[in-house]
Structure formats: structure tokens, C-alpha cells
Chains A and B, each alone.
Chain A
């Protein structure tokens, strides 16, 4: 019996010894402050950041603010007390989190802003998709779709926004309408789906298809809103292709709608690349080294680091997904994380 016990203890000791180097390699813990876990992009961002940060040697812990600014402020205060290597912040509210960012940096903890850019105070690194640019890409796609359908860039677009309190959707709207101004024969009707709730989008589409039956294109600011839009179109007796559809964020459900022929274009928010960029620059952020401006390759996407008033900022372009390229595993909506390992920037 004693011998068996000793053998078990020996095996355990060996296992611990084998595992120890893995822990020893860890460069420390990074906290990710996720604004909500009620949408697929945010859920995906947790697993992507975790994966890439692990590849460059960091452990990641996540705190969910449930879309509540005060909860995120409290979480920031708690995390500052824990003295992590860095904080990755996707802010619920840009302005309200400014003092928390300043407090963290004053305590010597670098702050990386993810997905939601805060320009009112300096931070150590920012990785964003460029929401205004997503709007630009969407406008280019709308231009092509309308031209193909009507022979010229003219017609009616129903733009289903997300919650009007969310800068993500407002920026996309800004970029989209900015570019579409060049086409005065295009009428854009913009309505918000309050709280990004799908059935609200479904109601908007059902009402508008009656009030404006000549709508050529529906542009929803998230794929899950397009799902509800499709349900309303289906209930109105429409078939795939009767009304052109477009959405932005590249969620898996959007890609499914492309495969089924309902959705023409999905403008991707490059989740994997955004997360990979954070991991690529994490060593420099943690060690407070200079991040040089210039072009970088992030998972095959040409991205630009600029030196802004609020610190180094990487902007990664969103790509248009159509029937032709929908199965490309690089799109996060296909949920096949990149097999290539992310390497820290030297």
C-alpha cells in the first residue's frame, strides 16, 4: 500500500515538474474588460484574445460589464488593485471610462483599447476595425449592388441601425452616409433597432416594406438583425433575391444567410485580426517600449499603425464577404481560428 502511495506521489510530482515550465513561461496576467457577452462578436473576442495572448505568453482573465458603465468602472477599480500586466478595455461608455484609464495608467498599468476607440485621453495601444471605414466599404458594396440592379446608382435603401446610443452603429452610419452622399438619386431611410434587439429590426422591416415597397436594399448594422429582417421578408412572401440585403460585423449567422442566398454582402469586422494585433504588440505595451508607426501585416491583412494624440493606434480594414469568398476560413464568422501562431513584434 505504502509503495502504491509513493508511486502515485512520484507520478504527481513528475507531472507537476513537467507542467511547471509552462507556468514559468507565463509573462503574467492580462485582464480583458468586455462590455457585454450578449452578442457574438463580444463572445468571439474573448476566445480570440485568449488564444492569441496565450501564444505570446500571457494569461487572460475576462470581466463582463453587462453593458453597464458603472459596473465597468467598478471592475476597473478592482483590477487596478490586482496590478495586472495590462488591461484590455472595450469600453461600455467612452467618456465615462476616461478617469478609469487615467487611474490605471497612473498606477503603472498599461491600458490597451480594443474595438472601441477612446480619443479623449492617452492610452498605450488601440486596436480598432475602423467603424467609419466599415461604413465606407458598405457604401462601395451598395453602390455596386444598386448599379447592377437598376443600371445606375439609384434607388431606396433601408438602413437598420443598432441602438442609437452605441457609437459603433453611429460610426458605421456616418461612414456609409458620407460615401453615399455622392449619389443623390439614392434615398436612405435610417431607423434604429433599439438595444440591438432582433425582433425590433424585424418590425422595422415589416413596416417599411409596406410603406416603401420599392426598397431595393436593406442594410442592417449586424448580422443578427438581418436574420430578423429575413424572417419578416419571408413572412411577407418574399424569396431570396427579391430584396437585396447587406449587413456588417461578419457573424456566423450572416455567413449562413449568404450561403442561403438571402444576404448579398456582409462587411466583416475583422475580429481575429483585431485580437491578433493586441497580442502582437502586448510585449511592447507591457514593457513600455515604443510602438513604431507604419504598415504591419496582421493575419494577412495590411494594417496601419499611426501615432495619434491618444497613443499608438492600429486600424484594420474590414473586408466584404460575398457568395464567392464566404467559405474563407480567415473570416471569424466561419469560426476557424487561424492556425498560424501570432509572433510578438520585435
Chain B
């Protein structure tokens, strides 16, 4: 194999998920009526905003060699906290701040704080008390969703303050501002992961925690920051979720965790830690969203959609495994 061919092949393998995305979009555009239109592509980006943001936090922790199963429930709790305070119907108490725009930073800070606190709690138990991240965050997944139920009483908060809801309605170059927030998050965190010592240290910790510690890097501090960030980012996802649905229900975001895991894995992040980039994760999120949109447009019988969704995700993961095999042969 010539060096040039090898170079091209490696480029394709490094960005396989993007090629898969393009392939899927072309196939769906050709075979699904009404799929090929700008509005649908904008919908794909918009629909992926909540999942995308949540996947960033999850990816950070997984790249660092751990796991955070609580992100879905944390997003739901943040959404409910924002909903209860800033919604005017249902259980919303309709808090009004003056000037109106003040509600945006306050609600955002609230969502980030809710997520950050739970992230810090998870991080403390995992890093300081040396407990399994899987168990601790699984417990948080359960008790945080329970807390949503407790504070909401199973009821919903609706009619989010227009000043906050504005982000879900206003569009910039055809995309709602919520989608731009998600894109901005991916850009910022991709740069953090690629260009800052913190990002590089997370990858090193995920690759070999002991070696990284011996190299003089503050492993514990970085890991706790990763957990706090994952929680706060999940809080942001909850804030976006509340904006998108104009409120919060007790079951808001149910099932997002598994989609976030699928997106992260499809995006090339290794569940063993130490491998993965955030642009790849974003491509994974877009791929899932493209599949969901295709299912929505195909109008298949309701009981088949979950099977098809699962099979398409499986196909994407198998393709990713195939990529690893080729990469090993190239090495």
C-alpha cells in the first residue's frame, strides 16, 4: 500500500462517522419522500441539540475512563427546577424578574448549578471515596429521577416564560438558537479537549490513570472537574429540554441516556476510556437524529419503529467495529 493510499484510508477511518452520516443522508434523501429539504436538515440539527449537549458531558467522563449514568435524570431535574420556577401553568409558580431578560441567565445558572451539584456529589464519591462510577451514577440516575417526581408530584409545569422560550422560537440562519447553543458547546469543548492541558490530561487519565498520576498530573482534581462538568452540561441539556417543550413533565427526557451512549460509541469514543473526539460524538448525535427523522417520515406501523431504530444503531456500531479491524490491519 502506497503512503498516499494509506493516508487517505486513515483519514476515512478517522472520520468514518461523518462519512456514515453523509451516506445515510444521501440514502434517506433518495428513498424517503420529503426527506431531501433544508427544513428537514434543520430539524435534524435542532432535534439533536438536547442529546448533543448531554453527549458532550457523557463523553468527557467516558474519555476519562469512567461513566456517568445520571445525566438523563440530572437533565430532567434541571428542566423541572426551571419549569417550576419560570412556568406559569400547571405546577409552575411563574416567577417574574425585571427586566425580563434576567430570567435567561438566572434560569440557566439554576440549571447549571443543579447539574453541577449532583456532578460534584458523584465525583466526590467516585474519586475521593473510591467507589465504582457505574454504581454511584446508577444510584444517582434513580434517586434524581425520584426527586423529580417528589418535587413535581407527578404533575407538569407548562408555559415557560416567553423571555426564555424565545431561544426555542427565534432562528438564526434557519436554525433555532437552541441548536446554535449545542453547536457552540461542541466547538468550545472540542477546543478544550484538543488544545488545553485539561483536555489532554483527561485523555491520558482515561488511557492509563496510574501512569498519568506518576507523570505528576493531578488525576483526582481533573476527574472531579470532569464529573462536575458532566453534571453541569446535563443541567444545560435540561434547560434546553425545558425550552424545547415549553415546560417540564415528570417523564421528560426518559430514554435519552441510552441514545447518548449510542451517540458517544458511534462517535468513536471507547468505553474503555482514553480514545475519542467530540466532533466525532457530534456526528454520532446527528446520525441518530437523521435516523429518527427518517423513521418519523416513513410512517411505519408504530410497533416496528423501535426495532428499526435499534437495528440501524446496531448497524452503525458494527460498522465502527469493522473500522477498528481495518485499523489494526493497517498498523
1/0 per position for A207-230, CB-CB distance to B under 8 A?
Answer: 110111000000000001001101
Q: Does B140 contact A (CB under 8 A)?
A: no
Interface segment, one of B43-51, B198-206, B209-217, B319-327: B43-51
Task: Give Cα A21 to B55, complex, Å.
Answer: 59
Contact call B155/A231, Cβ cutoff below 8 A: no
Residues on A with C-beta less than 8 A from B40 are 207, 210-211
B244 lies within 8 A of chain A by Cβ: yes
A38 adjacent to B39 (CB under 8 Å): no
B119 within 8 A of A: no
Interface residues of A in 226-269 (CB under 8 A from B): 227-228, 230-231, 234-235, 251-253, 256
Asked if residues A231 and B245 are in contact (CB atoms below 8 Å), the reply is: yes
Q: B304's closest neighbor in chain A, by CB?
A: A164
- Establish whether residues B255 and A203, one from each chain, have CB atoms under 8 Å apart when the complex forms: no
Cα-based distance from A282 to B292 in the complex (angstroms): 47
By size class, the interface of chain A is: 35 or more
Chain A residue nearest to B32 in the complex (CB): A211
Are the CB atoms of B299 and A164 closer together than 8 Å? no
The answer to whether B299 and A40 touch across the interface, beta carbons within 8 angstroms, is no
Instruction: Flag if A231 contacts B168 (CB, 8 Å).
Output: yes
B132 within 8 A of A: no
Stretch in contact with the other chain, from B102-110, B184-192, B246-254: B246-254
Q: How far is the CA of A331 from the CA of B293 in the complex (A)?
A: 36
Q: Is there contact, CB below 8 Å, between A194 and B306?
A: yes
Tell me whether A37 and B156 are in contact in the complex, defined as CB-CB below 8 angstroms, given that A197-B253, A206-B43, A206-B47 are known contacts: no
Instruction: Report how far A208 CA is from B294 CA in the complex, Å.
Output: 11
Q: Is B267 interfacial (CB 8 A cutoff)? A: no
**Interface stretch of the complex, out of A52-60, A97-105, A185-193:** A185-193
Distance between Cα atoms of A224 and B155 in the complex (Å):
10
**Is B305 in contact with chain A by the CB < 8 A criterion?**
yes
Q: Is A31 an interface residue (CB 8 A)?
A: no
Given contacts A206-B43, A227-B246, A231-B168, contact A190 B154 (CB under 8 A): no
Number of A-B contacts (CB under 8 A): 125
Q: Which residues of A contact B39 (CB under 8 A)?
A: 210
**Are B296 and A164 in touch, CB under 8 angstroms?**
no
Q: What's the nearest-Cβ distance from chain A to residue B310, in Å?
A: 11
- A40, B155: Cβ atoms under 8 Å? yes
Residue-wise, chain B 219-247 has the 8 Å CB interface mask toward A (1 for contact) of 00000000000000000000001001111
B158 touches A235 (CB 8 A): no
> In the assembled complex, which residues on chain B have CB atoms less than 8 Å from the CB atom of A170?
302
Q: Does A26 contact B (CB under 8 A)?
A: no
Q: Is A119 located at the chain interface by the 8 A CB criterion?
A: no
Give A259's nearest chain B residue, CB to CB: B89
B50 in contact with A199 (CB, 8 Å): yes
Residues B251 and A195 in contact, CB atoms below 8 Å apart: yes
Q: Which residues of B contact A196 (CB under 8 A)?
A: 251
A252 to B253, CA, bound (A): 21
User: B159 at interface (Cβ–Cβ under 8 A)?
Assistant: yes
Q: B292 and A37: CB pair below 8 A?
A: no
A92 beta carbon closer than 8 Å to chain B: no
Among A42, A204, A211, which residue has its beta carbon within 8 angstroms of that of B33?
Answer: A211
The CA of A161 and the CA of B300, in the complex, are separated in Å by 13
Closest to A169 in B: B302
* Interface assignment of B279: CB less than 8 Å from any CB of chain A: no
> Do B158 and A204 touch (CB < 8 A)?
no
Cβ-defined contact, A203 with B292, below 8 A: yes
B244 engages A231 (CB within 8 Å)? yes
Docked-complex contact B244 and A202, CB < 8 angstroms: yes
Most buried by B among A38, A208, A252: A38
Whether the Cβ atoms of B251 and A197 lie closer than 8 Å is yes
B296 in complex: contacting residue of A40, A161, A208, CB < 8 Å: A208
A342 contacts partner chain B, Cβ-Cβ < 8 Å: no
Instruction: Tell me how far the C-beta of B280 lies from the nearest C-beta in chain A, rounded to whole angstroms.
Output: 23
By the criterion CB–CB under 8 Å, are B305 and A192 in contact? yes
Question: Is A341 located at the chain interface by the 8 A CB criterion?
Answer: no
In the complex, what distance in Å separates the CA atom of A207 from the CA atom of B90? 27
Contact assessment for B50 and A256 in the assembled complex, using a CB-CB cutoff below 8 Å: no
Question: Taking A161-B302, A199-B50, A206-B43 as contacts, is the C-beta distance between A211 and B246 under 8 angstroms?
Answer: no
Give the nearest-CB partner of A257 in chain B: B158
Q: List 5 A-B contacts (CB under 8 A).
A: A39-B250, A206-B46, A207-B293, A210-B40, A231-B246
Measured CB to CB, the residues of A under 8 A from B are 37-40, 42-43, 161, 164, 170, 173, 189-192, 194-199, 202-204, 206-208, 210-212, 224, 227-228, 230-231, 234-235, 251-253, 256
Closest 3 CB pairs of A and B: A43-B154, A211-B34, A164-B302
10 A-B pairs besides A39-B250, A192-B305 with CB distance below 8 A are A37-B149, A38-B254, A39-B154, A42-B154, A164-B306, A173-B302, A191-B302, A197-B251, A210-B34, A234-B246
